[in-house]
Amino acid sequence: GQSLEQPSEVTAVEGAIVQINCTYQTSGFYGLSWYQQHDGGAPTFLSYNALDGLEETGRFSSFLSRSDSYGYLLLQELQMKDSASYFCAVSSVGGATNKLIFGTGTLLAVQP
């Protein structure tokens, strides 16, 4: 099966940088994704890493180390609107399936 671990809550101030870590265990690992979900809203895709290294998309960056089964999401220049839950998700390939399994989420609170 698959399992993912991320911190349940993180607090940071506006303008700061925050890192949300994710460790995973899965067979047939294909890649690691990150999603953002505002309270009452639908999850929205942020980034995806299939290979080791850092992917940058504006203020958000995501990192993957396949050998360590570890990744993180880095949010820079935090804004109040970044307050949301952040989920890592693994894509795993097994047989004919390539399903997407989510972690339990990290609630980020950005304070003024």
The site for other proteins (CB under 8 A) is made up of 30-31, 33, 41-45, 48, 50, 87, 91, 96-105
CB of 15 to other proteins, least distance (A): 27
CB of residue 22 to other proteins, shortest distance in Å:
12
Instruction: Tell me whether residue 29 or residue 70 sits nearer to other proteins (CB atom).
Output: 29
> Which residues, 6 or more positions from 49, have their beta carbon under 8 angstroms from its beta carbon?
31, 32, 33, 55, 62, 63, 64, 71
Q: How far is the CB of 21 from other proteins (least distance, A)?
A: 16
CB of 42 or CB of 81, closer to other proteins: 42
Separation CA 104–CA 37 (nearest Å): 12
- The C-alpha atoms of residue 108 and residue 40 are separated, in whole angstroms, by 15
> Whole-number minimum distance, CB 99 to other proteins, in Å?
4
Minimum CB distance to other proteins smaller for 15 or for 41: 41
Taking a C-beta distance cutoff of 8 angstroms, is the pair 22, 72 a contact?
yes
Which residue(s) pair with 21 in the sheet? 72
Side chain identity at 46, as an amino acid letter? L
* C-beta closer to other proteins: residue 51 or 112: 51
